[in-house]
Amino acid sequence: MSINIVVRKPTAKEYNELRLSVQWPTYDENTVRCALQNTLYAVVAEDEPGLAIGMGRVLGDDAIYLHIQDVIVRPELQGKGIGKAIMNILMDYVHTRGSKNTNVGLMCSKGRESFYAGFGFIARPSEKFGAGMIRLLS
Ligand SMILES: CC(C)(COP(=O)(O)OP(=O)(O)OC[C@H]1O[C@@H](n2cnc3c(N)ncnc32)[C@H](O)[C@@H]1OP(=O)(O)O)[C@@H](O)C(=O)NCCC(=O)NCCS
């Protein structure tokens, strides 16, 4: 099986389908379109041209704060190195845009810490950093 990591944004449909495949909440189409439009950089993993089986994107101010988001590989294709390939390209982008002390963040799903540790991310709280906080609007 040959997988291509294509530098492009997913369509709104692909975005919601990929989220649904890993049981994450989906959003209405206009919300997704807005989110994708405001995305700095995105990649889609394709196993056939135009057929999305994974994605990842980078959000932020493109200089000081960059955020990795929505790294997803369809469950039936996980564990084959696709997530790693997606992250490698996102990290290349981050290194291109960032400089010393650029803050690259991500919100890690429960149990996925070791996946990101491989790319140099550390878990919070740590000696230096607080836990980080989140609020989901109702
Ligand atoms: C997390 C995810 C993107 C990983 O993609 P993947 O294609 O299965 O990962 P890979 O096969 O490229 O594995 C890369 C490395 O991470 C490790 N890894 C993969 N999934 C992992 C998991 N769930 N927990 C911990 N480590 C994991 C692998 O063992 C591998 O390590 P190695 O390089 O030492 O062999 C995928 O499991 C996924 O889509 N999960 C659901 C959505 C999600 O939680 N995304 C992350 C948001 S924080």
CB 89 within 8 A of CB 43: yes
Amino acid identity at 67: H
Q: For ligand 1, which residues put their CB under 6 angstroms from it? A: 22, 71-73, 78-84, 108-109, 111-112, 114-115, 118
Run means of pLDDT, 10 residues per run, the chain, 138 residues? 94 98 97 98 96 98 98 97 98 97 94 95 95 92
pLDDT of res. 1: 72
pLDDT of res. 85: 98
Angle at the Cα of 28 from the Cα atoms of 26 and 31, rounded to 5 degrees: 105
Output the CA 73–ligand 1 centroid distance in Å. Answer: 8
* Residue ID of nearest Cα to ligand 1 atom 14: 84
Which atom of ligand 1 has the smallest separation from the CA of 74?
39
Output the CA 26–ligand 1 centroid distance in Å. Answer: 21
Distance CA 84, CA 102 (A): 22
Task: Give the up-direction half-sphere exposure of residue 11: CA atoms within 13 A in the CB hemisphere.
Answer: 7
pLDDT of res. 67: 98
Question: Which residues are paired to 44 by β-bridges?
Answer: 6, 55
Enter the tokens of residue 123: 């878990």
CB 58 within 8 A of CB 66: yes
Read off the pTM.
0.95
